[in-house]
Amino acid sequence: MEMDVYDELLAAALFIIFSTFMLWVFRKLWAVRKRKTINDTSSKSGHYWSPIEHEEQHNYCSGCKEHIVSGYECDNCLLKVDNINCLRSVSTKIHCKVNQTLCRKETFDHHWICGNIGADLFCEVCEELCGGGVGLQDFRCSWCWRVVHTKCKPKFTLHCDFGRLARTIIPPYCVTTRKPGNRNQRMAVIDTIEVPTEIANWRPIMVIVNPKSGSGAGKQLLRNFRAHLHPAQVCDVLKSNIAASLRWIDDHPEVEVRILIAGGDGTICSALDQIDTLSRRIPVAVLPLGTGNDLSRWLKWGKKCGGDIDVIKLMEDIQEAEVTFVDRWTIDAESQKKLGVRLQSNKKLSMTNYVSVGVDACVTLGMQNTRESIPRAMSSRLLNKFLFFTFGTKDVFERVCKGLNERIELYLDDVHVNLPDIEGLIFLNIPYWGAGVKPWATYNDSHRQDCDDETLEVFAVTSSFHIAQMQIGLASPLCIGQAKHAKLVFKGNHSFPMQSDGEAWVNSVGTVEISHKCKTAMLRKAEKQRSGCGMFF
């Protein structure tokens, strides 16, 4: 009898858990379906709606004029509504800024959105503060981002010149977009483009964003870029094909263009692979949304970035950035055959930052497996760094890569190299490694490092503890040498953890060859001279 009670309680608990899970799945699927229906309904107006929840600012609905607690916001023009009925009503009355049927070069006026203006912005006419107060008041242009009081609006010019973003934006009257034939691509891409002769030194910037990167910062950045630029300039890697989004660049060689990639190392590497296929070298800037962000450190774009970045200032910095070149490398991993069958499929990928085998790759692999098993829990940068620390500490005691030098053979430019007692071997292409460490700085005087000399720097580490010492400046790596071509031969019946630009995998017995692929044009943030008294201190 007692067992029957326990069985009933267990069955009830399992039923509650299962019902809760199914309800959660249903709500997620319904939210996705509802958003798709909403955007299909308002597609003629050009709006692209995203849900907003727990609105902290005092914003008001553009339909019923009531205060918004939760509702929807257009990613492109930042129009806000508080329910479906208002959304449908507003979509028929107020067209989005990207609506091509309303854009004419000869009479391109401001696209005014009423209300919901930050209280720290100044009117372009009277230079007094705008926004604030209760209800919808004052206006903001969704192209040039200028604001005016309601009473000052008749005094302001009708013509919009795109303001500080004029050099960067693709004017809506200069571009036509199309929906690509690929069913997996849901966002429109540029079809044809015309150079706006009335804008001096025009040079548009294409933006590639991974919304899953940066603990939610990527999603916020994506919406921020769409609000400031023409949405066709912004490529969401989860909903758009990068190659299709950039195809117009080859079709229009007369247009000078720059590209910004916002994401982690994996996003940057895959985007650069697509950019390298273009017929001309397009300069690329990177915005750090990952954990290590070593490439962005070297290019002076910082070690991390939030979603609330000043887009106008960023676009100006990219326009002023200096072009530099960096080598990219091809990694060919070929598995050994046994009885005519390969132990694992061959692997071929590109590398920009560094590739390694051993202890640091083991830590990256553990982190990657954890992230794939519970992706929602791994959305925090702080948690990611904690897990890197955890896996690194774990390896200090386990030392699974001990004796790596006995299991591999290294050839640099076809010359065999005798390795000391090590646990990790790294092939470095840029000055930074391991989230800000400059491992080659000690040897730079005798063995100069350049990022465009088609030469790799090779160094080794003896343990996870050695890596930790390097990260706080208490130790230097073991210098192995430099080479234009490298080859690794894996021996025995072991598995070898490897990683390249943040992507980790396990390699079986076989060979790995690293050879030069190409040079890519990158953008380094320009150093601005300090003026005034500060330059003397």
pLDDT of residue 18 exceeding 80, the answer is no
What per-residue confidence (pLDDT) applies to 530?
46
Task: Write down the domain spans for the chain.
Answer: 162-320, 328-517
Q: Which residue in 96, 91, 72 sits closest to 82, CA to CA?
A: 72
pLDDT interval class at 399 (50, 70, 90): low
Q: Please state the rounded mean pLDDT for residues 471-477.
A: 86
What per-residue confidence (pLDDT) applies to 537?
31
Q: Please state the rounded mean pLDDT for residues 307-326.
A: 92
What per-residue confidence (pLDDT) applies to 457?
94
What per-residue confidence (pLDDT) applies to 494?
76
Q: Please state the rounded mean pLDDT for residues 32-50.
A: 63
What per-residue confidence (pLDDT) applies to 430?
93
What per-residue confidence (pLDDT) applies to 278?
93
103: number of Cβ within 10 Å: 18
498-534 per-position pLDDT tens digit: 999 878 888 888 899 999 999 999 999 997 654 443 3
What per-residue confidence (pLDDT) applies to 370?
62
What per-residue confidence (pLDDT) applies to 535?
36
What per-residue confidence (pLDDT) applies to 536?
31
Rounded Cα distance between 285 and 188, Å, is: 23
Instruction: With beta carbons less than 8 A apart as the criterion, state whether 59 and 113 touch.
Output: no
Average pLDDT, the chain: 82
The model's pTM is 0.84
Q: C-alpha angle with apex 507: 502 to 510, nearest 5 degrees?
A: 135
What per-residue confidence (pLDDT) applies to 102?
55
What's the distance, Cα to Cα, between the start and end of the chain in Å?
Answer: 84
Rounded Cα distance between 157 and 99, Å, is: 21
The region of weakest confidence among 212-226, 371-385, 430-444, 457-471 is 371-385
Q: Please state the rounded mean pLDDT for residues 124-145.
A: 88
In the sheet with 424-428, reading across from the earlier edge strand, the strands are 478-483, 456-461, 424-428, 354-358, 496-500, 503-507
328-348 per-position pLDDT tens digit: 999 998 887 666 666 667 889
The position carrying tokens 């465009």 is 452
Q: What is the DSSP letter of 3?
A: H
H helix or E strand, kind and range, residue 148:
strand 147-148
Q: Which residue in 64, 57, 67, 56 sits closest to 87, CA to CA?
A: 64
- Which amino acid is present at 17? I
Residues 6+ apart with CB under 8 A from 347: 331, 332, 333, 505, 507
Rounded to 5 degrees, what are φ and ψ at 147?
-125, 150
Rounded to whole angstroms, what are the CA distances from 21 to 166, 375, 377, 536?
Answer: 49, 17, 17, 63
Rounded Cα distance between 215 and 5, Å, is: 45
Q: Which residue in 213, 69, 273 sits closest to 61, CA to CA?
A: 69
Q: Which residue in 484, 482, 480 sits closest to 517, CA to CA?
A: 484
What per-residue confidence (pLDDT) applies to 229?
94
Which residues partner with 335 through β-bridges? 510
Q: What is the DSSP letter of 321?
A: P
The region of weakest confidence among 136-145, 293-302, 404-413, 442-451 is 442-451
Q: Which residue in 200, 342, 352, 183 sits closest to 273, CA to CA?
A: 352
Q: Are strands 189-193 and 175-178 parallel, antiparallel or unpaired?
A: antiparallel
DSSP 404-456: HHHHEEEEETTEEE---S-SEEEEESSS-BTTTB-TTGGGTTTS---TTSS-E
Q: Which of 4-18, 213-227, 332-346 has the highest mean pLDDT?
A: 213-227
The region of weakest confidence among 164-168, 455-459, 462-466 is 462-466
Greatest pairwise CA separation for the chain in angstroms:
88
DSSP 450-516: -TTSS-EEEEEES-HHHHHHHHTTS--PEEEEEESEEEEEE-TT--EEEEETTEEEEE-SEEEEEEE
Rounded Cα distance between 530 and 528, Å, is: 6
The region of weakest confidence among 194-208, 280-294, 307-321, 396-410 is 396-410
pLDDT of residue 220 exceeding 50, the answer is yes
The CATH fold of domain 162-320: Rossmann fold (3.40.50)
**Strand, coil or helix: 150:** coil
**Strand, coil or helix: 126:** coil
What per-residue confidence (pLDDT) applies to 408?
92
Rounded to whole angstroms, what are the CA distances from 366 to 128, 289, 305?
Answer: 56, 20, 25
Instruction: With beta carbons less than 8 A apart as the criterion, state whether 185 and 241 touch.
Output: yes
What per-residue confidence (pLDDT) applies to 241?
87
Q: Please state the rounded mean pLDDT for residues 204-231.
A: 89
**Residue positions counted in the chain:** 537
Q: Please state the rounded mean pLDDT for residues 101-129.
A: 82
Q: Please state the rounded mean pLDDT for residues 95-99.
A: 83
Tell me yes or no: is domain 328-517 CATH 2.60.200.40: yes
pLDDT of residue 270 exceeding 80, the answer is yes
The tokens for 471 are 């990260």
pLDDT interval class at 4 (50, 70, 90): low
Rounded Cα distance between 28 and 422, Å, is: 49
Cβ burial of 402 (10 Å; 0-12, 13-18, 19+) is middle
More confident residue, 255 or 360: 255
Which residues partner with 231 through β-bridges? none
What per-residue confidence (pLDDT) applies to 467?
85
DSSP 247-279: HHHHH-TTS--EEEEEE-HHHHHHHHHHHTTSS
Q: Which residue in 262, 218, 306, 231 sits closest to 77, CA to CA?
A: 231
What per-residue confidence (pLDDT) applies to 470?
87
Rounded Cα distance between 434 and 438, Å, is: 9
